[in-house]
A and B are shown apart, each in its own frame.
Chain A
Amino acid sequence: MSATLDRPVSAVDPSGGRGNDKSRAERKLGWYLAGPAFVVMLLVTAYPIVQAVFDSLFDYRLTDPQNSSFVGLGNYGVILTDSVWWTSFGVTTFITVVTVAVELVLGFGLALVMLNALKALRPVLRTVILIPYAVITVVSAFAWQFAFSVDSGFVNSWFSFLGATPETDWFGTQGLSLFVICLAEIWKTTPFISLLLLAGLAQVPDVLQEAAKVDGASWWQRLRRVTLPNMKAAIMVAVLFRTLDAFRVFDSVFVMTAGANNTETVSFLAYRQTIERVEIGLGSAVSVLLFLSVVLISALFIKGFKVDLSQARGE
């Protein structure tokens, strides 16, 4: 935390109260200013999740509100013994692991290029790298879907040498659909990872690099022994953020396959139960399970890999 925090009061409180009065006034002012944002954040997330936990205990369908009945943990039992849940959980985990792994390697490559590129080229790279980040996920999903689709794509004719025919249906099987979904996700989110990694790269002290060079370390040795250990915090933060983000994958699946051929993800399952089938009870239970998964992943990262998020905030 910066030093500005140590002596802020006089500007805020020009009358300059003394000692305890001063710090009490400051505490009060702090909560007056930050309170509204805090309350709004709680209202838009904590309240809905509590409501979801409550709803998940009922057999409640919107089209049939009279017959709503308390079923305890029954909805969870129904979900956890159903292969639909486990398929969507598996698909979600697969997409998460594949995209995060590829993005980490690719993003590191992009960050290295941005770090080493000629000065004149850097602003150009920094601009284009933001474009996939800024493009709407739905638009990116459509772009990739149309490129691969039988009726409007060019991929089948471009890659005929790899065995693609004009009839190759990329959305006809689970494996090929997931391949295209992962491709779209990777394209869209790698730039964000690479910017985080670039910030981490910039923090590796030059002195260490020089010292290793003088000692005769090769490029690869320097990368493994100096660069990577020194940017461990940045890498872990990037991986954590992206893992949680990938685990919520919804837009691309909705646009490309709408869950066909066993490509349904957990978010999509929750959507289908709640919005399409108006099974509020079951949908809420899926939502709560998804929420618990996200909490579990965060806990694993923070405890298991010792990701220090306060370090990420620069405190």
Chain B
Amino acid sequence: MSTREKVGWGIGGLLIVVYCLFPVAWIISLSFKSSDDISNGQFLPTVFSGANYEQILVGDAAGLFLPALVNSFGICIIATFISCLLSMFAAYAIARLDFPGKKLILSTALAVAIFPVISIVTPLFNLWRQIGLYNTWPGLIIPYLSLTLPISIWTLSAFFREIPWEMEQAAQVDGATPWQAFRKVIVPLAAPGVFTTAIIAFFLAWNDFVYGISLTSTEAARPVPAALGLFSGASQFESPNGPIAAAAVIVTIPVVLLVLLFQRRIVAGLTNGAVKG
């Protein structure tokens, strides 16, 4: 590659960084504007103010935001855990065993993944009200499985196919018991795939808005995205934009942390599951 080409691709790379971070930088900047500053027409605040964070963490809006944060974490972690557990067994069977219907299971997962979420919401809204699951944690965890389970099965099957399973037998030949072979050889090989799958499934659940806004009505179960969508300010005379920006920054922190820590694995998981040569 010539120097000119290198510089060209370098500039391209720089543009990508700006592209990806600009809106995030903007929402962070906005979250530090005081209410007088919100409409200053500038990107940056004239004075940095923590008032928005105060309002959502200890102030008027805390009663709306903090329970939603707890709901989001609880519901997403449980849904992720269940779908990882179920898909671990399914992916093991798909990767290692020969049985009819393997293709059917993978095709079903694909069909569920492209299913329009709102088509599930309509009947569930009615049913949940009748059987008392409306506005509860299980009432969200169950439909969240339609988001997390298909991608978990796909991603994990792709990972499990690449595990050198014969190592397990090799360990047994070397005198390990089946349990030792499983625990000392297979678990360490499979763990990164399971972990990556869990992160991707968590992203999907964390991102949900349709279920959250349709199947809840109070802070008993309402997750953060839905709370954000409904937040209309401490009073009707005050713009809610600042507090919303602060809340948006707080819910973005966990996913950005996951990305920073595990970027290589996430990329492998996303592309393995979808396009695999």
Contact = CB atoms under 8 A, between A and B. Distances in A.
A30 B101 CA distance: 9
Contacts of A124: 13, 17
A42 B115 CA distance: 12
B178 A127 contact: no
Interface string A69-109: 00000000000000000000000000000000000000001
Contacts of A131: 20-21, 24, 256, 259
Contacts of B20: 128-129, 131-132, 191
Contacts of A139: 27, 225, 228, 248, 251-252
Contacts of A313: 106, 154, 158, 276
Given A29-B93, A254-B209, A135 B252 contact: yes
Interface string B219-243: 0000011001100000000010110
Contacts of A125: 13, 16-17
A42 B112 CA distance: 8
B82 to A, nearest CB: 8
Interface centre among A147, A247, A313 (most CB of B within 10 A): A313
B61 interface: no
Given A26-B97, A130-B266, A143-B27, A117 B271 contact: no
Interface in B255-277: 255-256, 258-260, 263-264, 266-267, 270-271, 274-277
A20 interface: no
A4 B13 contact: no
Given A127-B260, A134-B256, A113 B39 contact: no
A5 B96 contact: yes
A45 interface: yes
A165 to B, nearest CB: 11
A312 interface: yes
A152 B122 CA distance: 35
Interface residues of A, number: 116
Interface string B15-40: 11101110110110010010000110
A153 B264 CA distance: 35
B245 A34 contact: no
Contact of B99 (A27, A234, A286, A288): A27
B74 interface: no
Contacts of B118: 248, 250, 267, 270-271, 287, 290
Given A4-B161, A30-B97, A30-B98, A37 B153 contact: yes
B1 to A, nearest CB: 8
Interface string B134-145: 000000001101
Given A44-B146, A135-B252, A192 B16 contact: no
B100 interface: yes
B201 interface: no
B27 A146 contact: yes
Nearest to B110: A309
B139 to A, nearest CB: 12
B240 to A, nearest CB: 10
B271 A251 contact: no
Contact of B123 (A52, A130, A144): A52
B81 interface: no
Interface in A1-55: 1-2, 4-6, 8, 10-12, 14, 23, 26-27, 29-31, 33-34, 36-38, 40-42, 44-45, 48-49, 51-52, 55
B207 A14 contact: no
A33 B157 CA distance: 13
B212 to A, nearest CB: 9
B16 A55 contact: no
Interface string A117-129: 1100101111111
B187 to A, nearest CB: 14
Contact of B16 (A8, A128, A287): A128
- What are the 3 tightest A-B residue pairs by CB atom distance, in nearest-first order? A30-B99, A314-B276, A113-B12
27 contacts: A12-B96, A26-B97, A30-B99, A33-B97, A34-B90, A37-B153, A44-B145, A45-B111, A45-B115, A48-B124, A49-B123, A55-B122, A62-B126, A116-B12, A125-B16, A131-B20, A132-B20, A135-B252, A142-B244, A146-B26, A152-B239, A187-B19, A187-B23, A241-B274, A248-B116, A271-B210, A275-B125
Given A34-B101, A195-B267, A275-B213, 15 more contacts: A8-B98, A12-B96, A34-B93, A44-B112, A44-B143, A131-B21, A135-B23, A135-B252, A136-B255, A203-B277, A241-B274, A250-B118, A254-B229, A255-B229, A270-B118
